Chain A
Amino acid sequence: MDRKMEGRLGWLFASPYLLYAVLFFAIPLVWSIFLSFTDWNLIAPVFHFEGFANYWKALKSAGVQSAFFVTFKFLIIFVPMVVIISMIIALIVHALPKFKGLFLVGFFLPYLASGVVSSLIVKGILSYNSPINTFLRHVFGLDIDWLGTPFSALFVVAVIIAWKFSGYYALILTSGFESIDQSVYEAAEIDGVNGWQRFWKITFPLLYPALYTVVILSVGVTFGIFTEVYQLTGGGPNYATNTWQMEIFKQAFTNLQAGYASAIAIVASIVTFISIYIIRKLIELWGKRNGWD
């Protein structure tokens, strides 16, 4: 087969994905960019080009500003939480003599659970007159407004999402553990390395590829949170859990301001891109220090 034929075949095989990407990514993206410069609500017969007005409005809006800061607050709570929990699960499963797969599947199940259902269950558990809160009030005199105070609402959402994703990330980390050559540990044992040093000086750096994947994926999750916030807090109290997706949803589907919502979506995608790029570079820097190029 000559090179020309190979090239044509390559395009042929790639065309379903390219077509998919064009229809569901490129066209909506171009359409969103166009909408973001208009005041169109999609139903009015006429619309006006507003230049960057929607962008200025977005930058000045309390909703968008809260979405920006809430995402980073969430990132600070969620990413370490999910990495630590999934690491603990992976360590436990890795140390098991038998049935590793069975346990991993068990931990993976929450990932398949509906966000709506798990949120509604948590809402019931944390309600004022739930058995837990009644017990806390009567025995300890603690009257906690779990979803009504900014930090606890954010923390509760982070815990639900960490519960959902930690089994999945544990799967990735377990494969990372399995790929570490046992001879490295044997050599370290001969050199008299203790358990603490063994984990931090050998396992942790050698886990870099799996950790890299888990951290980047979990950072990505923080920019896409919607279901749990929508079901539990609606973005409140006082914008404390208002995420990018929540703000876009409100403006697009409740306020029906397609142009303005598109401008927020574009701003959100720029912030997401820059944030993930910076975090990726920081992790790669740490990887390089540990010999990963």
Chain B
Amino acid sequence: MKRWFSVFMAAVLSIGFLVGCSTGNGGKTNNGSTKNGVTTITFWAAPNPTQQVFWEDMAKKFMEKNPNIKVKVSPMKETPTSEASIQAAIAGHNAPTMSENINRSFAAELANSKAIVPLDTLEDWDKIVSGRKMENSAESWKFSDGHQYVMPLYSNAMLFAWRIDILKQLGYNEPPKTYSEVLDLVKKLKQKYPEKYLWAKADLADPTAWKRWFDFFMLYNAASDGNSFISGKKFAGDKEAGVKVLQFMKDLHDENALLIKQSKNPFETGTSIFTDLGPWTFTSWKDNFPEMQLNKTFVLSPPPIPDGLKTDHIKTYADAKGLVIYASATKEQQKAAMKFAQFVFSNPENDLELLEKTSLLPARDDLTTNETFTKYFNENPQLKPYAAEIPYAVPAIDNAKYNDLQTFIGQYAFNKAVKGQGDPSKEWDDMAKAIEGALK
């Protein structure tokens, strides 16, 4: 019996291993191919129905003019995370030819693993960049190895929103610009409305890596004039600017201006008067908070800055994502993918469609000057400040260890400052030490 059991288990295990190791197609990738002169490419759209609709429409229009290329659009899975589903697809030899929804940090991890193609090595890259008028935007996406791995698709320059109706009650007609002006405002706010806060956000005290994009990096990019936080494999943070950001948060804590407890719609309900805001919020406001109107209840501004800095062209964080082409695709597929990208990006009408369908701001340098978009921005004035800020928005760091590095920012510095703990200079040094250790 023992022998039978051993034989059975060995057989099942062997079959299982062979099945598990097989790609199911004789070792070739399962991401499309060239057959009868038609090259098939697969495109993974972001797990957002409006983006999927946009890309399906683009694929349809492209295929009408290019019958020898077939573009299959499908949404990427978002469980457990979209990054993990891409990882699983690459590991299982099922990666698409190209996909959107890739930020610069995740792209760094993919590039580090040689899973994506440096786009500047492919034919027509320069034509795509100049055709879309995105020379400046693309430049900020260049990696420290000098290559371009991501085609910028949209760039949401993050801004801060202020409750202008409450500011007016405090005697302000426009939001404060510098740290000391903000602290003065806080004193007046607390005097008149002791139960209101400047910024209500539990995430401020949460060390989760991505949360730093929407607090620390907005303030740090503004304070440091967009100084690189990581350069290649070296920590390059601007200590003076960083310490000022931490001190500002500590001062806000000391003035009881931060609410770091879970609260429901604090900005919309007036519990707080300041919040980081992306353009995607307006769709939900239209349905749930129609009273939120630009210049009536809220205004938008770049991040506040330390005293003494110039108050124009303030830098911020760019919540930006783009397209990548996977290294597992064949040369024909890579060529076809570039042709598809060139088709989409060569016509500003396509970017207008992206804007109309998704409210995501195309990563173009001429968004505010190109007449194609004028009518749209006149009808949607709340998006104008975002478009104007695109040239001053800095995308995420290009380091494969971004998750660890950004966790350290929260753990050693930012989360402590918002809780009013420790000395900002020491916190910065502790954070720098941890980051340098991880980069080794």
Kindly report which residue of chain B lies nearest to residue A138, judged by CB atoms: B195
CB distance from A57 to the nearest CB of B (A): 12
B80 at the binding interface (Cβ < 8 Å): yes
The 8 Å CB contact of A128, one of B83, B91, B259, is B259
Asked if residues A148 and B12 are in contact (CB atoms below 8 Å), the reply is no
Using a CB-CB cutoff of 8 Å, which residues 205-264 of chain A contact chain B? Answer: 234, 236-237, 249, 252-256, 258
Nearest A residue to B90 by beta-carbon distance?
Answer: A43
Cβ–Cβ < 8 Å partners of B84 in chain A = 252-254, 256
Smallest CB-CB separation from A123: which chain B residue? B262
Mask for A129-147, Cβ within 8 A of B = 1, else 0? Answer: 1100000000000000111
Which of A7, A123, A249, A252 contacts B1 (CB under 8 A)?
Answer: A7
Nearest B-chain residue to A239, judged by Cβ = B207
Do the beta carbons of B262 and A254 come within 8 Å of each other? no
Give Cα A258 to B110, complex, Å: 14
In the assembled complex, which residues on chain B have CB atoms less than 8 Å from the CB atom of A27? 13, 16-17, 20
Please give, as numbers and ranges, the residues of chain B lying within 8 Å of A256 by CB-CB distance.
Answer: 83-84, 87, 109, 403
Query: With A42-B90, A253-B81, A254-B81 in contact, do A124 and B209 touch (Cβ < 8 Å)?
Result: no
B280 at the interface (CB under 8 A from A): no
- Does A126 sit within 8 A of B, measured CB to CB? yes
Instruction: Give Cα A256 to B112, complex, Å.
Output: 13
Interface size of A in residues (CB-CB distance below 8 Å) = 35
What residue of chain A has the Cβ atom nearest to residue B89's Cβ? A43
Q: Provide the bound-state CA to CA distance between A146 and B202, in Å.
A: 12
Which single residue of chain A is at the shortest CB-CB distance from B106? A256
Q: B9: CB under 8 A from chain A? A: yes
> Quick check: B80 and A253 within 8 Å, CB to CB?
yes
Asked if A128 and B87 sit within 8 Å, CB to CB, the answer is no
CB nearest neighbor in A for B415: A238
Q: Known A43-B91, A254-B403; judge A128-B16 contact (CB<8 A).
A: no
Q: Decide if B87 touches A43 in the complex (CB within 8 Å).
A: yes
Task: Assess A22 versus B13: contact at CB under 8 Å? Given A43-B87, A254-B209.
Answer: yes
A26 located at the interface, meaning its Cβ lies under 8 Å from any Cβ of chain B in the complex:
yes
1/0 per residue B77-95: CB within 8 Å of A? 0001101100110110000
Q: How far is the CB of B27 from chain A (nearest CB, A)?
A: 15
User: Taking the nearest CB of chain B, how far is it from the CB of A44, in angstroms?
Assistant: 4
Q: A27-B17, A41-B87, A234-B206 are in contact. Are A127 and B114 (CB under 8 A)?
A: no
Query: Contact between A44 and B114 (Cβ–Cβ < 8 Å)?
Result: yes
Residue in B16, B83, B90, B262 with the greatest tally of chain A CB atoms within 10 Å = B262
| A291 interface residue (CB < 8 Å to B) | no
Which residues on the A side are within 8 Å of B9 (C-beta)? 22
Given A27-B16, A255-B403, also A237-B205 (CB < 8 A): yes
Q: Which of A7, A43, A124 has the most CB of B within 10 A?
A: A43
Residue among A31, A44, A123 with max Cβ neighbours from chain B (10 Å):
A44
The reply to whether A128 and B261 form a contact with Cβ atoms under 8 Å apart is: yes
Contacting residues of chain B (3-40) with chain A, CB-CB under 8 angstroms: 4, 8-9, 12-13, 16-17, 20
Stretch at the interface among B131-139, B167-175, B243-251, B264-272: B264-272
B404 within 8 A of A: yes
Write out the residue numbers on chain A whose beta carbons fall within 8 Å of the beta carbon of B16.
Answer: 22-23, 26-27
Q: Select which of B81, B114, B264 is within 8 A of A130 by beta carbon.
A: B264
Q: Is A109 an interface residue (CB 8 A)?
A: no
Docked CA distance A124–B12 (Å) = 49
Alpha-carbon gap, A268 to B208, bound state (A): 22
Q: Is B166 in contact with chain A by the CB < 8 A criterion?
A: no
Asked if B231 CB lies within 8 Å of chain A CBs, one says: no
**Shortest CB distance A99–B (Å):** 39
Q: Which residues of A contact B (CB under 8 A)?
A: 7, 11, 18-19, 22-23, 26-27, 31, 41-45, 123-124, 126-130, 145-148, 234, 236-237, 249, 252-256, 258
10 A-B contacts (beta carbon < 8 Å) = A19-B12, A22-B13, A27-B16, A41-B87, A41-B113, A147-B262, A148-B262, A249-B80, A255-B403, A256-B109
Q: 3 smallest A-B Cβ distances: which pairs?
A: A128-B263, A42-B91, A44-B113
Known: A42-B88, A128-B271. 7 other contacts (CB 8 A): A26-B13, A27-B17, A145-B261, A237-B205, A249-B80, A254-B84, A256-B403
